[in-house]
């Protein structure tokens, strides 16, 4: 997708309007406004403690906003339970790897697919006979490039393969909007490059919101970037404009981006 996203009327996939979140006396998210276009890849960056994960928790329904509105397309989702938001088309991954280590790669993905159809995991039903589930699981296995590991236990995969599996499980619900919280955390340069490439492929046609500390990833993968500082969005723009934004440099990026 081109980064020329200014002044075009484009459908909005996700929007936050004057969203606030306080924990007791602590006003952590302070009037956040954000709009993500359909199909765009959007990063949220900012210093530690700025509120990035909290924004994710608010969007995905783990937290309820103290005030403000969050919409998925036209639909108001703020205040809905996380599971309902997921069924409406929004999926997220967490900072920690979130797979079943004692199940095989195939079984992990199959669980994700079954959840999408509201099916329970039962040992006595011939689940493997459900053609649609099997087809979709096979498809996912290939998409996340883990076919050769189909029978490997989740816990025996390398770290980056576990992250690929986790992304696959997130995609199992076929979400319109995908939130990924630090998907490259703890990866080597090679693993990061591999995962960026994989994410580019997997998120084509979807809307991606990513929190990531690796600036190379953010600037190469994303169409737009929002900068969050002390619970407020201080800028939303293309990577190039964010790189050259003096306020952003002073508030957060410093010499990192100028380099
Ligand atoms: N459940 C909670 N109760 C009280 N305070 C919280 C809660 N969750 C988060 N906070 C506070 O909100 C602030 C923002 O935290 P958050 O994890 O969203 O920041 P972040 O930008 O994701 O940071 P990092 O980059 O280090 O992951 C922190 O000061 C944190 O202590």
Residues 6+ apart with CB under 8 A from 163: 97, 183, 184, 187, 195
| Residues 65 and 114 reside in one and the same domain | no
**φ/ψ (deg, to 5) at 23:** -115, 105
| CB 63 less than 6 A from any atom of ligand 1 | no
The CATH number assigned to the domain holding 19 equals 3.40.50.300
Q: What's the 72 CA to ligand 1 centre distance in angstroms?
A: 23
Last residue of a domain, one of 156, 174, 192: 174
| CB 23 less than 6 A from any atom of ligand 1 | yes
| Residues 182 and 250 reside in one and the same domain | yes
Last residue of a domain, one of 142, 157, 174: 174
| Residues 37 and 154 reside in one and the same domain | no
| Residues 169 and 103 reside in one and the same domain | yes
| Residues 132 and 72 reside in one and the same domain | no
pTM metric for this prediction? 0.87
| Residues 12 and 24 reside in one and the same domain | yes
| pLDDT for 257 | 46
Range of the domain at 73: 1-89+177-259
Last residue of a domain, one of 140, 174, 208: 174
Query: Which residue carries 């484009």 as its tokens?
Result: 10
Ligand 1, atom 3, residue with closest C-alpha? 23
Q: What's the 74 CA to ligand 1 centre distance in angstroms?
A: 28
List the one residue out of 188, 183, 187 whose CA is nearest residue 203.
Answer: 183
| CB 110 less than 6 A from any atom of ligand 1 | no
Ligand 1, atom 1, residue with closest C-alpha? 23
Q: How far apart are CA 191 and CA 199, in angstroms?
A: 12
| pLDDT for 248 | 83
| Residues 19 and 53 reside in one and the same domain | yes
| Mean pLDDT in order along the chain per 10 residues (259 residues) | 58 98 96 97 94 96 97 96 92 77 94 77 55 90 94 93 91 92 89 92 94 93 95 95 87 53
Q: What's the 44 CA to ligand 1 centre distance in angstroms?
A: 14
Ligand 1, atom 5, residue with closest C-alpha? 23
| Residues 54 and 153 reside in one and the same domain | no
For 90, 209, 250, the CA distances from 231, given in Å and listed in that order, are 22, 17, 16
Q: Where are the alpha helices (DSSP H) in 61-130?
A: 82-87, 105-116
Q: Looking at the 3D structure of the chain, how many domains does it have?
A: 2
Q: What's the 236 CA to ligand 1 centre distance in angstroms?
A: 21
| CB 239 less than 6 A from any atom of ligand 1 | no
| Residues 167 and 198 reside in one and the same domain | no
| CB 245 less than 6 A from any atom of ligand 1 | no
Ligand 1, atom 27, residue with closest C-alpha? 48
| pLDDT for 140 | 94
């Amino acid at each position: 997708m081109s980064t020329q996203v200014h002044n075009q009327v484009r459908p909005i996939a996700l929007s936050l309007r004057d969203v606030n979140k306080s924990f007791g006396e602590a006003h952590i998210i302070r009037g956040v406004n954000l709009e993500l276009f359909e199909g765009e890849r959007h990063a949220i960056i900012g210093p530690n403690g700025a509120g990035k994960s909290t924004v994710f928790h608010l969007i995905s329904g783990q937290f309820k906003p103290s005030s403000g509105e969050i919409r998925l397309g036209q639909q108001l989702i703020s205040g809905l339970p996380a599971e309902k938001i997921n069924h409406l088309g929004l999926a997220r991954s967490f900072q920690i790897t979130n797979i079943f280590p004692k199940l095989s790669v195939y079984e992990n993905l199959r669980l994700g697919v079954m959840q999408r159809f509201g099916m329970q995991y039962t040992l006595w039903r011939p689940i493997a006979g459900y053609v649609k589930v099997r087809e979709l699981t096979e498809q996912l296995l290939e998409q996340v490039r883990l076919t050769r590991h189909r029978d490997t236990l989740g816990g025996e995969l390398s770290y980056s393969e576990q992250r690929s599996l986790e992304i696959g499980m997130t995609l199992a619900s076929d979400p319109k909007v995908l939130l990924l919280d630090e998907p490259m955390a703890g990866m080597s340069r090679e693993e990061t490059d591999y995962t960026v490439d994989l994410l580019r492929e997997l998120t084509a046609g979807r809307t991606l919101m990513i929190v990531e500390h690796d600036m190379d990833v953010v600037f190469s993968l994303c169409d737009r970037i929002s900068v969050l500082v002390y619970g407020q969005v201080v800028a939303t723009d293309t990577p190039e404009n964010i790189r050259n934004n003096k306020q952003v440099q002073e508030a957060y990026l410093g010499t990192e981006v100028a380099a």
